Amino acid sequence: MRRNIFKQLWLLLLSIGPGIFCIGYTIGTGSVTSMIKSGSQYGLQLLWVLFLSAFFAWVLMESFGRFAAVTGNTAINSFKIQLKWGKLWAVMAIVGVVMGQWSALSGILGLTSNAIYEVVRLFFPGLNESNYWAVLGIAVTIIIIMYAFLLVGKYSFFEKVLVVFVTIMGISFILSMFMVLPPPAEIARGFIPGIPPGGNLMVAAFVGTTMAAPTFVVRPLIVKEKGWDKYHLKEQRKDALISAIFLFIISATIMVAATGALFHHGRTVTKVLDMVYALEPVAGKFAVAIFMFGAMSAGLSSIFPILMVLPLLISDYRQGKMDTQTSTFKLLTAAACLVGLIVPILGTNPVMAQIATQVANVFILPVVIGGIIVLMNKKSLMGIYKANLYLNIALVTAFVFSLVISYTGILGIYDYILNL
Tell me the CATH number at 293. 1.20.1740.10
User: Per the domain annotation, does 267 fall within a domain?
Assistant: yes
pLDDT value of position 322: 73
* Region 67-86 average pLDDT: 92
Q: List Cα–Cα distances, 310 to 98, 295, 395, 398, in angstroms.
A: 6, 25, 26, 25
**For the segment 177-208, what is each residue's pLDDT rounded down to a tens digit?**
887 788 889 999 999 988 888 777 777 777 77
User: Per the domain annotation, does 142 fall within a domain?
Assistant: yes
User: Per the domain annotation, does 1 fall within a domain?
Assistant: no
Could you tell me the residue range of the domain that residue 39 belongs to?
22-418
Output the DSSP codes for 111-149: HHHHHHHHHHHHH-TTS-S--HHHHHHHHHHHHHHHHHH
User: Per the domain annotation, does 225 fall within a domain?
Assistant: yes
Q: Let me know: does 39 contact 251? Beta carbons within 8 Å.
A: no
* Region 83-103 average pLDDT: 87
User: Per the domain annotation, does 318 fall within a domain?
Assistant: yes
User: Per the domain annotation, does 8 fall within a domain?
Assistant: no
Residue 262 DSSP label = T
* Lowest mean pLDDT across 26-30, 187-191, 272-276: 272-276
User: Per the domain annotation, does 15 fall within a domain?
Assistant: no
Domain total in the chain: 1
User: Per the domain annotation, does 11 fall within a domain?
Assistant: no
* Region 279-297 average pLDDT: 72
Output the DSSP codes for 344-373: HHHT---HHHHHHHHHHHHHHHHHHHHHHH
**For the segment 318-367, what is each residue's pLDDT rounded down to a tens digit?**
877 777 778 888 899 999 999 888 878 877 655 555 555 555 566 788 88
Report the distance separating Cα 358 and Cα 251, nearest Å.
Answer: 14
pLDDT value of position 14: 58
Which stretch of DSSP H or E encloses residue 229?
A: none
* Region 380-407 average pLDDT: 90
